[in-house]
Amino acid sequence: MSTEFSCTAYGKWILAGEHSVIRGYPALVFPIPSRTLELKYTPGPQALELQLHGNHGQELQLLIWGVLEKAFQLKKIARANLTGTLHIESSLPVGAGMGASAALCVALTRWLGHLGYVPQNEYYDFSRNLEDLFHGESSGVDIAVALSGEGLRFVRNGERKSITPSWKPRWYISYSGKRGVTVDAVNKVKDLLAKNPPEGQQIDRNMAKAVETAQEALYMDEANGKKVLMEAIEMAAQCFEKWGLNDGEPTAHIQWLRNQGAIAVKPTGSGGGGYVLSLWDKEPKQEALEKLIPC
């Protein structure tokens, strides 16, 4: 008989490296402490049932059985063998670029690990296989941060090195007002690369330079680091501009953040909507704070 189990997986935001990370360039990714998915398992005799709670729990209703079915196929688990209740509480909006699908895949993988189906050294690869359901081709960056719960320098199929800034930037993310569709954004970038390889490759290199610059900034002292971090964020923002992933609501929201006093702003995640990262010189005004999530 299995025992009770619980775990927490964090949402994520990306400082720099979006899209180019799929092609082997590095990315800098951090967890969002205030946005999580919590899973609790209670053993019982009944067929496996789900209870969804939290601001965004119900949004998982449509996803969760698909993820579980894929997991059962991969590990040849008969659904009838699983009993008890899964309670999932989520404060992560689905489809907003905060890594809700990765957090779900990681939490379910840990639970299956607890039941003895997935060894711990397979957690990363198994979670990533599950996440391919959502992205077609997962770089694994969301999975890595959901598993580790710490800031990472991430390279696809390569390094996952923890990052601890030597100062505390005043950075926030906020919703652009429009859902971003990851697959659409990824395809838009791939189309540009196919039509104009030199330009596409140059944008990737520029994004990689933004990653290196941002990482240097985080290890400087605050006075120097802030200026360099501003440059890095704006460098990454230019890449989104060139990919054509800022149109409509994101552009208006970026302008609003600048008007409120943000010193650097860029989309975070796949772009085309979703969330926007902003860096501030001083504490934002109350009306802005109401829309901002601390990083």
pLDDT classification of 136: cutoffs 50, 70, 90: low
On the question of pLDDT at 30 being above 60, the answer is yes
| Predicted local distance difference test score (pLDDT) of residue 1 | 56
| Predicted local distance difference test score (pLDDT) of residue 194 | 95
Spell out the domains of the chain, with CATH numbers in brackets. Answer: 5-162 (3.30.230.10), 170-294 (3.30.70.890)
Q: Which range (26-30, 41-45, 269-273, 276-280) has the least confidence?
A: 269-273
In this predicted model, what pLDDT tens digit does every residue of 118-131 receive, in sequence order?
Answer: 999 999 999 999 99
Given a contact cutoff of 8 angstroms between Cβ atoms, the answer to whether 39 and 4 are in contact is no
In this predicted model, what pLDDT tens digit does every residue of 159-171 receive, in sequence order?
Answer: 899 999 999 999 9
| Predicted local distance difference test score (pLDDT) of residue 68 | 94
With a CB cutoff of 8 Å and minimum separation 6, the contacts of 72 are 78, 79
| Predicted local distance difference test score (pLDDT) of residue 274 | 86
On the question of pLDDT at 278 being above 80, the answer is yes
Please name which of 161, 173, 148 lies closest in space to residue 277, comparing C-alpha atoms.
Answer: 173
Q: Which residue is associated with the tokens 């330079």? A: 209
One-letter amino acid identity for 214?
A
pLDDT classification of 182: cutoffs 50, 70, 90: confident
On the question of pLDDT at 181 being above 80, the answer is no
On the question of pLDDT at 262 being above 90, the answer is yes
Where in the chain does DSSP place strands (E)? Answer: 5-16, 27-47, 49-53, 83-90, 152-154, 160-162, 170-175, 262-268, 275-280, 293-294
pTM: 0.88
